[in-house]
Amino acid sequence: MLQVRGVVFAVALVATALLASTAMAQDVDFSFNDWSDVTQVCPTCEPPPADELVLRNGDTVQGTIRAVNPVFYTVERFGEVRTVPAGDVQEVNWKRGDQPRGLDSLDQIVLKNGHVLTGEIIVDNDRPPYFEIQSSYLEYSYTVFKSQIAMVFRDGQEYDFEAAMQEVEDVRE
């Protein structure tokens, strides 16, 4: 098991190095980027029920809302994940009538390149500084080095992970 974790850690280290070369500035743009041209993955199937975000400009975004926090909604459709700024949303129409329990209390890690990982942070390590997050809807966990992170939400609220890292450094000195 220890060897497997070592291999996973090494792979995560390489992936993080690759992400570092494409990382954007600390400010992340959560503006909705339109879906790909896929409108249905099964042409003969009935379209799946979807949550709907009605935006202030009149546009709608349909998909499964995977998480909600004070800054943005995380929406998934056909495996694509997008963010929609909370301030752009006028109304939410839930496919089952009400917001599912727990969507506003998930952990989220926002990478500097704009990708958002949603689930439960299961490891918060200081040396080396990384998080491991278990996906809330896939059977994956992701290791993310803190240097690649723009924002962190714990239990649905923004978490100042940089201040927490500094506190650890101050205690060690």
CA distances for 167 relative to 45, 146, 160, angstroms: 54, 15, 11
The rounded distance, in Å, linking the Cα atoms of 156 and 127 is: 25
**Ordered alpha helix ranges (H), the chain:** 2-22, 161-172
Residue finishing a domain among 76, 103, 130: 103
The rounded distance, in Å, linking the Cα atoms of 136 and 70 is: 19
Can you give the pLDDT at residue 36? 74
53-110 per-position pLDDT tens digit:
999 999 999 999 999 999 999 999 888 888 899 999 999 999 999 999 999 999 999 9
Residue percentage of the chain with pLDDT more than 70: 77
For the cut 90, the answer to whether the pLDDT of residue 172 exceeds it is no
129 pLDDT tier (thresholds 50, 70, 90): very high
Domain identity same for 130 and 99? no
Domain identity same for 9 and 55? no
Say what the pTM is: 0.72
CA distances for 112 relative to 61, 85, 145, angstroms: 24, 16, 11
Residue finishing a domain among 103, 132, 151: 103
Of the two residues 123 and 3, the one the predictor is more confident about is 123
Domain identity same for 59 and 90? yes
Domain identity same for 21 and 59? no
Strand partners, 111: 149
For residue 95, what is the domain's CATH number?
A: 2.30.30.100
19 pLDDT tier (thresholds 50, 70, 90): very low
Can you give the pLDDT at residue 162? 81
For the cut 80, the answer to whether the pLDDT of residue 30 exceeds it is no
Mean pLDDT of the residues in the chain: 81
169 pLDDT tier (thresholds 50, 70, 90): low
Domain identity same for 115 and 172? yes
Cis before 85 (ω within 30): no
Domain count for the chain? 2
Domain identity same for 161 and 129? yes
Domain that holds residue 58: 31-35+43-103
State phi, psi for 43 to the nearest 5 degrees. Answer: -60, -25
Residues 83 and 29: beta-carbon distance below 8 Å: no
Q: Residue range 45-57: average pLDDT? A: 92
